Homo-oligomer: A and B are copies of this chain.
Amino acid sequence: MQKEIWPGGALLAPVPPALVSCGSLEAPAVLTVGWTGIVNTRPPRTYVSIRPERNSYPIIKERGEFVINLPTARLARAVDLCGCRSGRQVDKFALAHLTPSPASAVTAPLIEECPVSLECRVFQSIPLGSHEMFLADILAVQVDAALLDEAGRLCLEKADLLAYAHGGYFALGKQLGSFGYSVRKKKKRQPKR
């Protein structure tokens, strides 16, 4: 494979194009964030990196709470809109047909139309240059009950989650395997009679 060497750039993909909601149920705000990820499993911890110029920045900085909402493929247009427009100019909830709804562990609202929401409380923030990273505990998770099977297990593959890669919004495609499949022992076939 012939490689080209470029200067450093933010070329990680795919990332979750998360709808991050903050503020309160009475004065909600929302923005799209590609710079998010899990940073720790036990306790569950995450981050979002946000430019100080964004309308939501002082809200999260002051209140120390936000919700990461995972969008579905059918919300692609709403996700793009919440990344391109500012809450200072327009009512993004109305424009994108999104509904703020009460969370359980934080005063920040979640977004009703998203099948998974992570309720987060900031424990540390680090200015890194263009963005400030807000590190947060995930205090509670809300999931769409329609995604649970009879045993109560979450079947997230049914959620049709949205992915973002280098400027493009993508649906998730074919499932190619599941964690551990490469090392699982194959069942022996029944011998032919």
Copies of chain A in the complex:
2
Q: Point out the residues of chain B lying under 8 angstroms from A116, CB to CB.
A: 11, 13
Contact residues on A (Cβ < 8 Å of other chain), bracket: 35 or more
A137, CB-defined interface residue at 8 Å: yes
Give Cα A118–Cα B10 distance, bound, in whole angstroms. 9
- For residue A37, give the distance in angstroms from its CB to the closest CB of chain B: 3
Bound complex: CA A143 to CA B12 (Å): 12
* A58 sits at the interface (CB 8 A): no
**Residue contact A133 to B1, C-beta cutoff 8 Å:** no
CB distance from A64 to the nearest CB of B (A): 16
Question: Taking A175-B168, A175-B169 as contacts, is the C-beta distance between A12 and B38 under 8 angstroms?
Answer: yes
Contact A172-B165, Cβ < 8 Å, known A8-B43, A80-B183, A118-B8: yes
Residues A3 and B41 in contact, CB atoms below 8 Å apart = no
How far is it, in angstroms, between the C-alpha of A162 and the C-alpha of B179 when the chains are bound?
13
Stretch at the interface among A21-29, A70-78, A185-193: A70-78
Nearest Cβ in chain B — how far from A185, in angstroms? 13
Q: Does A131 make an interface contact (CB < 8 A)? A: yes
- A-side residues, CB < 8 A to B, are 1-16, 18, 34-47, 49, 68, 70, 73, 76-78, 80-81, 83-85, 104, 112-113, 115-119, 126, 128-131, 133, 135, 137-146, 148, 154, 156-157, 161-163, 165-183
